[in-house]
Amino acid sequence: MFYPQFQLLKSPMDILNQVKQSILVPYGMQENDIDQIMDSMLTATVDNADIYFQSSHFESWVLEGGIVKEGSHSIEQGAGVRVVSGEKTGFAYSDQIELAVLLKAASNVKAIARQGQNAQRKVEDVKKRTDYYQVTNPLKSLADQEKINLLRKVDIETRKLDTRIEEVIVSLVGVYEQVLVANQDGSLVADIRPLTRMSVSVILEEKGKREQGSMGGGARTDYGYFLDQDKAVEYGKEAVRQAAVNLEAIDAPAGAMTVVLGPGWPGILLHEAIGHGLEGDFNRKGTSAFSGKVGERVGSELCTVVDDGTLEGRRGSLSIDDEGVPTESTMLIEKGILKGYMQDKMNARLMGVKSTGNGRRESYAHIPMPRMTNTYMLPGQHDPEEIVKSVKKGLYAKNFGGGQVDITSGKFVFSASEAYLIEDGKITKPVKGATLIGNGPDVLTKVSMVGNDLELDAGVGTCGKEGQSVPVGVGQPTIKIDGLTVGGTSV
């Protein structure tokens, strides 16, 4: 059977027509119905109003214990209507895309705005849009039998790698999402967003001791991504390698020490330590440890950090954000100096700047807010080996689990899942997972070396904020931090 790897990239107009066809037409809605809803909201002093239509098809397949145990499929659609007036937001949504229902929702939300002069349909500056992923439906990119064959192949290949393997779990997830954003200025923009993810986790057992390892990847593309260069099989290899390393791990050290972070996923440091603290809402409200610090030094000269939604096919990338604004590469920290914040429309307006295309929402049932896309540090001059060699005694952390930050105090954590001691300039014994803790506004001032080996993560990151989850990416080169607290047990 033939399944096209990619459809041709379509123009924004083609995308708009296709999305209208799948979100509006089946429910008997037309463009002038959208105008009618919008008009009904603009009878008050409104700064911004939008209607967000979304349709999302999701599937997942899970292999466990050598068999494809289950799969699930879901279809959701709905629309959210929002009115913003000053610092106030009124919001309602419905899973019924019907004029009468949405008019009622609109009448509920406009109560937020003071009654008064009718709002103008002001025309906003529109940045030029570029598309960063293909218009493709991952769910249809492989036949169901081929998806199963892929899971089985990964299971079989992984189990061959090590006799200590007790369990292999392989999962494959695909999302095909279509969104349509109607703005107060009369603009109507659409996006089609494919997203795939695959992961492998293993449990190894040796002499009664067990350990886990896991690896995955994904992108805004179709399942062909995992067949390319046998990526899926590589995830299995990497999961087994990590579990095997952890079987040998000794207790992690405790206390402040020099820490070298490997390239790629350890960039979760940037996401937690500075990324969240630089989101516009916290800074507009003055609740972030970074509030009012634009122009100040928050990192060493070696640190330049961007948030970039424009990377081709990346998990955190978006052609337009959920307010219809084209994404961009936003300079957050340039040579250690704080340059600016990530903004959605509302917070940009209140702070007197422009939206940076970071207005995101989990779904039509959630209010948009400033969120990260792909956050990473630019490469420096040093050979990674040279960086490790410069450390007499410290920790080398290569892989991480999750992280968290307290925006207000600036304290952040991220948990290493694969780490080693550095002794006399050499990476030596593996140590057990440990949480690293630091202070966001000063951790980058302690960065004394930056490698030339920038890597982005493999594409599995999900960020949670105020109960909303969105896919994101991180990345960095190898970096050396002079003094970070490592939460081991070996005191």
Partner 1 sequence: MSKEVNELKNLVQDLLDESSKQGASSAEAGLSIDNGLSVNARLGEVETIEHHCDQSLGVTVYIGQKKGSASTNDFSAKSIKETVKAACSIASFSSEDKYAGLPDKDMLATEFPELDRFHPWDIDAESAIDLAIECEDAARSYHDDITNSEGASVSSHQGIRVMGNSLGFLQGYQATRHSMSCSVIGERDDSMQRDYWYSVSRQAGKLEPAKEIGLKAAERTINRLAARSLTTRQCPVLYSAEVASGLIGSLVSAISGGSLYRKSSFLLDALDTQILPEFIHIHEQPHLKMALGSAAYDSEGVATAARDIVTDGILKGYVLSSYSARKLGTKTTGNAGGVHNLTVDTGENDFAAMLKQLDTGLLVTELMGSGVNQVTGDYSRGASGFWVENGQIQYPVEEITIAGNLKDMYKNMVSVGNDVDYRGNIRTGSILIEQMSIAGE
Query: How near is the Cβ of 313 to partner 1 at its closest, in Å?
Result: 27
Distance CA 241, CA 264 (A): 17
Mark residues 401-430: x for contact with partner 1 by CB under 8 A, - for none: xxxxxxxxx-xxxxx---------------
Alpha-carbon dihedral of residues 82, 84, 87, 90, nearest 10 degrees? -40
Pick the closest to residue 221 from 265, 178, 176 (CA basis): 176
Contacts with partner 1: how many residues (CB under 8 A)? Answer: 78
CA dist 235 to 242, 396, 397, Å? 11, 22, 19
- Find tokens 């929702």 and name the residue: 105
Q: Is 121 in the site for partner 1 (CB under 8 A)?
A: no
CB distance 267 to 376 below 8 Å: yes
Q: Is 45 in the site for partner 1 (CB under 8 A)?
A: no
In sequence order, the 6+-apart residues with CB closer than 8 A to the CB of 474 are 265, 267, 268, 270, 271, 374, 375, 376, 456, 457, 461
Q: Between 331 and 350, whose beta carbon lies closer to partner 1?
A: 350
Q: Is 438 in the site for partner 1 (CB under 8 A)?
A: yes
Q: Is 350 in the site for partner 1 (CB under 8 A)?
A: no
Q: Is 469 in the site for partner 1 (CB under 8 A)?
A: no
Site for partner 1 in 155-184 (CB under 8 A): 166-167, 169
Q: Is 445 in the site for partner 1 (CB under 8 A)?
A: no
Among 114, 255, 301, 383, binds partner 1 (CB under 8 A): 255
Phi, psi of 174 (to 5 degrees): -135, 145
Among 45, 89, 137, 452, binds partner 1 (CB under 8 A): 89
In this structure, what token pair is assigned to residue 478? 């190898």
Site for partner 1 in 211-240 (CB under 8 A): 211-212
Give, in degrees to the nearest 5, the angle at Cα 227 between 226 and 229. 100
Instruction: Describe the chain by its helix, strand, coil percentages, rounded to 5.
Output: 25, 40, 35
Please compute Rg for the chain using Cα positions.
24
CB distance 41 to 27 below 8 Å: no
Among 17, 115, 122, 144, binds partner 1 (CB under 8 A): 144
- Find tokens 């899973």 and name the residue: 95
| Segment lying near partner 1 (by CB under 8 A), choices 175-183, 299-307, 329-337, 479-487 | 479-487
Distance CA 406, CA 388 (A): 30
Q: Is 205 in the site for partner 1 (CB under 8 A)?
A: yes
| Segment lying near partner 1 (by CB under 8 A), choices 34-42, 191-199, 285-293, 317-325 | 285-293
| Segment lying near partner 1 (by CB under 8 A), choices 117-125, 216-224, 232-240, 281-289 | 281-289
| Segment lying near partner 1 (by CB under 8 A), choices 83-91, 129-137, 229-237, 376-384 | 83-91
Q: Between 134 and 141, whose beta carbon lies closer to partner 1?
A: 141
Q: Is 468 in the site for partner 1 (CB under 8 A)?
A: no
Q: Is 298 in the site for partner 1 (CB under 8 A)?
A: no
Query: How near is the Cβ of 351 to partner 1 at its closest, in Å?
Result: 16
Provide the 8-state DSSP code for 137. Answer: -
Q: Is 73 in the site for partner 1 (CB under 8 A)?
A: yes
Judged by DSSP in three states, 225 sits in helix
Q: Is 8 in the site for partner 1 (CB under 8 A)?
A: no
Q: Is 138 in the site for partner 1 (CB under 8 A)?
A: no
Q: Between 159 and 432, whose beta carbon lies closer to partner 1?
A: 432
